[in-house]
A and B are shown apart, each in its own frame.
Chain A
């Protein structure tokens, strides 16, 4: 058993608020790892630290054998990322967005066109490659972001709520592509989602985070057994309670609003 991502006592503080509180976990090479938790639990903050966007307050991250804090560029070349919020240049065409990505990830010139074509075909956007992203629907933008993250053949793919705001057809097709990439290419997948059925269907390993701490982890079966529940959703609710998040933190209106805006994107 090989470990592609190893996290030790990772912590992120925003001023005096601790968003991620000393979490540790390992992700096995070739597995699908689902990182679940209520709104504001600290999932995206964790992903941003893993992908070098945010500097951790403390802790260690090893990706594909590289220290993500010291050997940033090598770590960066090892992963692909689909952020929770949008990250496309809407004034460029879909193809230009892909090309930009391929160049900054140093995909060899000869392979570029093929790889871009392949990735766009996976998400069904090859025919629309010449359109400005501005003119895409929310779901098409999401698919484009996923295709883009595949162009440089990452060893590990981070997906922060990849299917939010997508119709069931697209969700199914995206999950089947993700599973196929995982099975055929051995690509490790690290994902977050609020759709428990999706996580239950695809994930080999699950970690549940709440208030910045990991409160449960294991396979779906293990978690269901320990919580004495029938489904992952029940287990999730049992572990994290039924309160609605964000609103129950006193004096944090801003936080709710920010969260809503972020989620309203797609």
Chain B
């Protein structure tokens, strides 16, 4: 059981590690956002908030962003596997669908975590500082939970999809809104009611809020509430994913 999960995990890490283009390419966006938003909105934010540092606000948001996109990408890999026929090889093996789901979730989440850590280091270069080890530890937990949740989410969606085209749709109409309405880039205050509502049912909102709370002490909902919400959602999505996986016809 452990070995099966391990080999599934290992395969994904090998893919990630061997495709340097993907590794570098996926760093482009967060760097761009950090620099463009950080320097573009920094002065405005400082003025509006009465002198606070925008980088403190933005850095956790961009780390979440890179985790979100990398995690969702794991779902894309399943669709890829289906098109290239490899999914069948895994699905005719005498292993439970829950093991497959677990292995793939851990693999995808590990990659997302690595990606998040790289971006985290970049924010350090741009002046972002974490107060202490305890904050760091707590922040890492949030990073990991966000990674788990969105990998599971991507896999669950992918299990229902036959090809890439549908995934593009999901990307534009689900993932982008999730990102923009999560409070990653700007505070979720004084919003129109509909948008406010959407931001409150958005799982990433709590992930970003918790991570920001851990790293900088600014949290809207309270770190432990965030932790409870993101933690239980992650567990839930893994179960949903396992059920959906058991229905896949490769």
Contact = CB atoms under 8 A, between A and B. Distances in A.
A117 interface: no
Interface residues of B, number: 25
Contacts, number: 69
A209 B6 CA distance: 42
A48 to B, nearest CB: 9
Interface stretch (A91-99, A120-128, A219-227): A91-99
A87 interface: yes
A76 B94 contact: yes
Contact of B14 (A81, A92, A101): A92
A90 B94 CA distance: 22
Contacts of A105: 93-94
Given A54-B249, A76-B94, A100 B85 contact: no
B197 interface: no
B94 A89 contact: no
A237 interface: no
A230 interface: no
B250 A53 contact: yes
Nearest to A75: B94
B7 A104 contact: yes
Contacts of A55: 249
A105 B81 CA distance: 19
B86 A73 contact: no
A83 B88 contact: yes
Interface in B1-45: 3-4, 6-8, 11, 14-15, 18-19
Contacts of B250: 53
B90 interface: yes
B191 interface: no
B189 interface: no
Nearest to B103: A104
A90 B89 CA distance: 13
B249 A53 contact: yes
A99 B18 CA distance: 18
B14 A91 contact: yes
B7 A103 contact: yes
Contact of A89 (B6, B11, B95, B96): B11
Residue in B3, B4, B84, B89 with the greatest tally of chain A CB atoms within 10 Å: B89
Contacts of A106: 4, 94-95
A257 B84 CA distance: 17
Given A55-B249, A85-B85, A86-B84, A73 B15 contact: no
Interface string B50-90: 00000000000000000000000000000001001110111
B184 to A, nearest CB: 32
B92 interface: yes
Given A96-B14, A100-B11, A104-B4, A53 B91 contact: yes
Contact of B88 (A87, A101, A109): A87
22 contacts: A53-B88, A72-B94, A73-B95, A74-B94, A76-B93, A83-B88, A86-B85, A87-B89, A88-B85, A89-B89, A92-B14, A99-B7, A100-B7, A100-B89, A101-B89, A101-B93, A103-B4, A103-B7, A104-B4, A104-B8, A104-B93, A106-B95
Interface of A: 51-55, 72-74, 76-77, 81, 83, 85-92, 96, 99-101, 103-106, 109
Interface of B: 3-4, 6-8, 11, 14-15, 18-19, 81, 84-86, 88-96, 249-250
Given A103-B4, A105-B94, 18 more contacts: A53-B88, A53-B91, A72-B94, A74-B94, A76-B93, A76-B94, A77-B94, A83-B85, A83-B88, A85-B85, A87-B88, A89-B81, A91-B14, A91-B19, A96-B11, A96-B14, A100-B89, A104-B94
